[in-house]
Amino acid sequence: MIKILIVDDEKPICDLIDMNLSAAGYFCKSVQDGMEAIDLIEREKFDLILLDIMLPGADGFDIMEYIRPLHIPVIFITAKSDVKDKVKGLKLGAEDYLAKPFDVVELVARVEVVLRRFRKTENLLVAGDIAVDMEARKVTKAGKPVVLTNKEYGLLVLFMQNKNIALFKEMLYEKVWGDEYIADSRTLELHVQRLRRKMGWERNLVAVYKVGYRLEV
């Protein structure tokens, strides 16, 4: 699972970010002090760091100098919106810069972009509050595990890999059931119904007339 460190001196902001990124399928840790952040980075491995500039102990620029040789992607999150601060942060190696107050939806989108850039999400699929860790074969909804059968899991992966695309029934049978396709079988329909209930996708996983199904997100 992707592991993200949140470094901000305001705990409510840390909690807000943690809640939204956890719901998107990421594992988060947070600290409110610069030196504590450096200590944690020394002990644990992180895939991304969300970093404030104004921090007690050591500021964000000092921390950035420390972690630059580690090649961990960083997004600066700060109330300082001065162009000089943005330029300094980017020159130090930050991948992105987000000024407070920010929209959490935008934050999650920026996190996804940076992780894709570093090829850290190849085994992670995310759609709303549903996350699939393909390496661990683990499915979560709003951070809580969801138990699926092998066929349900296979369908889920296909739908999440092809969001907003209509998938033919024949293709779904071929990919998930192999040679077990029977034209008049209700097997696929029943599996889709169960998947809708488990994922809370009653309105998202829609039937496409004479084609198959589409996951709308």
Same domain assignment for residues 29 and 75? yes
Residue 125 lies in a domain: no
Longest dimension (CA), the chain: 67
Report the run of H or E that residue 173 belongs to, with start and end. helix 169-177
CATH number of the domain encompassing residue 75: 3.40.50.2300
Same domain assignment for residues 67 and 111? yes
Same domain assignment for residues 112 and 149? no
Residue 110 lies in a domain: yes
Place of tokens 């719901």: 23
Q: Where are the alpha helices (DSSP H) in 26-135?
A: 34-43, 60-67, 83-91, 104-117
User: Is residue 2 within 8 Å of 125, Cβ to Cβ?
Assistant: no
pLDDT for res 183: 57
Residue 12 lies in a domain: yes
When the pLDDT of each residue in the chain is averaged and rounded to a whole number, the result is: 86
User: Is residue 172 within 8 Å of 188, Cβ to Cβ?
Assistant: yes
Does the pLDDT at position 159 exceed 80? Answer: yes
47: three-class secondary structure by DSSP: coil
Residue 191 lies in a domain: yes
Does the pLDDT at position 143 exceed 70? Answer: yes
Does the pLDDT at position 88 exceed 80? Answer: no
Same domain assignment for residues 142 and 203? yes
Same domain assignment for residues 115 and 10? yes
Does the pLDDT at position 29 exceed 80? Answer: yes
pLDDT for res 181: 55
Q: How many other CB atoms are there within 10 angstroms of residue 40's CB atom?
A: 17
Same domain assignment for residues 136 and 116? no
Measured CA to CA in angstroms, residue 182 lies from 154, 173, 189 at distances of 18, 9, 12
Q: Is the peptide bond before 12 cis (omega within 30 degrees of 0)?
A: no
pLDDT for res 144: 87
Residue 26: domain span: 3-120
Average pLDDT over residues 195-206: 95
The predicted-structure confidence for 42-60, as pLDDT tens digits, reads as follows 999 899 999 998 899 888 8
Average pLDDT over residues 86-113: 81
Same domain assignment for residues 189 and 134? yes
Does the pLDDT at position 36 exceed 80? Answer: yes
Cα–Cα distance for residue pair 44/202, rounded to 1 Å: 40
Same domain assignment for residues 140 and 176? yes
Model confidence at 81, pLDDT cuts 50, 70, 90, reads: low
Model confidence at 82, pLDDT cuts 50, 70, 90, reads: low
User: Is residue 198 within 8 Å of 146, Cβ to Cβ?
Assistant: yes
Same domain assignment for residues 107 and 10? yes
Q: Residue 125 has which token pair? A: 């699929």
Q: Which residue has the higher pLDDT, 79 or 37?
A: 37
Q: How many domains does the chain have?
A: 2
Sorted by sequence, the CB contacts under 8 Å of residue 77 that are 6+ apart come out as 8, 13, 17, 50, 51, 52, 98, 100, 102, 107
Same domain assignment for residues 165 and 184? yes
Share above pLDDT 90 across residues of the chain, in percent, rounded to a whole number: 36
Same domain assignment for residues 9 and 71? yes
In Å, how far from its chain's centre is CA 166?
Answer: 23
End-to-end CA distance of the chain: 22
Model confidence at 184, pLDDT cuts 50, 70, 90, reads: low
CATH number of the domain encompassing residue 168: 1.10.10.10
Its pTM stands at 0.60
Same domain assignment for residues 112 and 26? yes
Average pLDDT over residues 29-49: 92
Does the pLDDT at position 204 exceed 60? Answer: yes
